[in-house]
Amino acid sequence: MKVITNTKPSLPNKSNRTIRSMRRQLPFYLMMAPGLIFITILFYIPMGGVLIAFKDYNARDGIFGSPWMDPLFKNFEFFFKSDVARTVTFNTLFYNLLEAVAVTICALTIAILLNEVKNKFLSATYKGSILLPTFLSWIVIQYILFSLLSVDRGIVNSAITGNGGEAINWYSEPSYWRIILPIAYLWKNVGYFSVLYVAAIAGINPDYYEAAELDGASKWQKIRHITLPLLKPTIIVLSLLWVGKLFNGGLGDWNGFYTLPNDAGALYQTTDVIDTLVFRSLKKINDYGMASAIGLYQAVVGLFLVLISNYIIKKKDPDNALF
């Protein structure tokens, strides 16, 4: 008697499915390869250098051959036991928080205003004008600022003395730079962030605005109830990026803090941030261990800030969390 059994074709195992999927996606992996190689070489391989923070480093023995510090955290002592730590930490947080709020508000405002410009030529002209400073280096901006603030030939002092006032030595008065640096950073970078928000606004379905118009909504009501709520995910992602950079000198633009004040020692009280301190530790003091210790402190605190802020957002609004 012949027994008939119901047999089903065996499904490919998980590894076979993964291989087939990788073959299908091979062109995309090849496109990703240059970027991944770039990130690996510049960001991940150098992470082994954090060992310098715990070693009495010398170039002859190299990172792995140099002796360990005794005590192990000696490279951290100078930074944390000095007033320099409090000054640069406060300055870094102050400027980054101020710039984060100012850039977000100004970029959102500019993006919304640009969205209201219906003439394509004018819209492109405005966008190009606002974005132009982003492509200027801090060295160029330093010369522009110096032409404005120079004691004897600066445009600002010429205007002050021309009206009977007394010239101000901007490069020896620290208090003024609490305002000068944020304004310079805002002028340079607000165009870049406004373009990001313009792109996000362009992705909003116009049907929402048409429906609002039929209901008699004003422009402000459309902005308040449609544009801003739909921009919330973009604002959250950019805010998380800001949080991760709170301990950096202005989203990677720390060289602005170094070049704009001309590295004037009289201004360190208000212009010195963690990144400029690390740079000077390498350039002038030639202390690799201390510079690495400060950089490690900066990176660890930045990581925890991202994790904490993302955790809070995930609790409040899981759909908008970064991970």
Q: What is the pLDDT of residues 198-257, one digit of tens each?
A: 888 988 888 888 888 888 888 888 888 888 888 888 888 888 777 777 776 543 455 678
Tell me which residue of 98, 87, 109, 104 sits closest to 250, measured CA to CA. 98
Distance between CA 266 and CA 255 in Å, rounded?
18
The residue count for the chain: 323
Query: pLDDT at position 38, please?
Result: 92
Domains of the chain: 94-320 (1.10.3720.10)
Q: Identify the DSSP state of 142.
A: H
Query: pLDDT at position 252, please?
Result: 47
Q: Which residues contact 247 (CB under 8 A, 6 or more apart)?
A: 89, 92, 93, 96, 274, 298, 299, 301, 302, 305
Task: Judge contact between 302 and 275, C-beta under 8 A.
Answer: no
Task: Judge contact between 155 and 148, C-beta under 8 A.
Answer: yes
Instruction: Quickly count: other Cβ atoms within 10 Å of residue 181's Cβ.
Output: 25
Query: pLDDT at position 318, please?
Result: 76
Distance between CA 178 and CA 146 in Å, rounded?
17
**What is this structure's pTM?**
0.74
3-class secondary-structure state, position 137 = coil
Tell me which residue of 237, 154, 140, 147 sits closest to 196, measured CA to CA. 237
Distance between CA 286 and CA 177 in Å, rounded?
28
Distance between CA 316 and CA 322 in Å, rounded?
13
Distance of CA 311 to the CA centre of its chain: 20
Query: pLDDT at position 250, please?
Result: 47
Query: pLDDT at position 322, please?
Result: 67
Distance between CA 217 and CA 211 in Å, rounded?
9
Tell me which residue of 92, 81, 74 sits closest to 299, measured CA to CA. 92
Instruction: Quickly count: other Cβ atoms within 10 Å of residue 70's Cβ.
Output: 7
In tens digits, the chain (323 residues) has pLDDT values of 445 555 545 445 667 788 888 888 888 889 999 999 999 998 888 888 888 888 888 888 888 888 888 888 888 887 777 778 888 888 888 888 888 889 889 999 999 888 888 888 888 888 888 888 888 888 888 899 999 998 888 899 889 888 888 888 898 888 899 999 989 988 988 988 898 898 889 888 888 888 888 888 888 888 888 888 888 888 888 887 777 777 765 434 556 788 888 878 888 888 888 888 777 777 777 778 888 888 888 888 878 887 887 787 787 777 766 67
Tokens of 200: 């996000």
Burial class from Cβ neighbours inside 10 Å (0-12, 13-18, 19+) for residue 24 reads: exposed
Place of tokens 């955290």: 73
If DSSP states are collapsed to H, E and C, what string results for 184-216? HHHHHHHHHHHHHHHHHHHCCCHHHHHHHHHCC
Query: pLDDT at position 13, please?
Result: 66
3-class secondary-structure state, position 55 = strand
Tokens of 320: 């908008």
Angle between helices 83-115 and 232-244 (to 10 degrees): 160
Radius of gyration of the chain measured on its C-alpha atoms: 27
Query: pLDDT at position 260, please?
Result: 87
Distances (CA, A) of 267 to 2, 32, 91, 174, 201: 96, 44, 12, 5, 41
Query: pLDDT at position 31, please?
Result: 92
Please measure the distance between the N-terminal and C-terminal CA atoms of the chain and give it in whole angstroms: 61
Q: Which residues contact 227 (CB under 8 A, 6 or more apart)?
A: 112, 115, 201, 204
Tokens of 70: 């005794």
Distance of CA 137 to the CA centre of its chain: 16
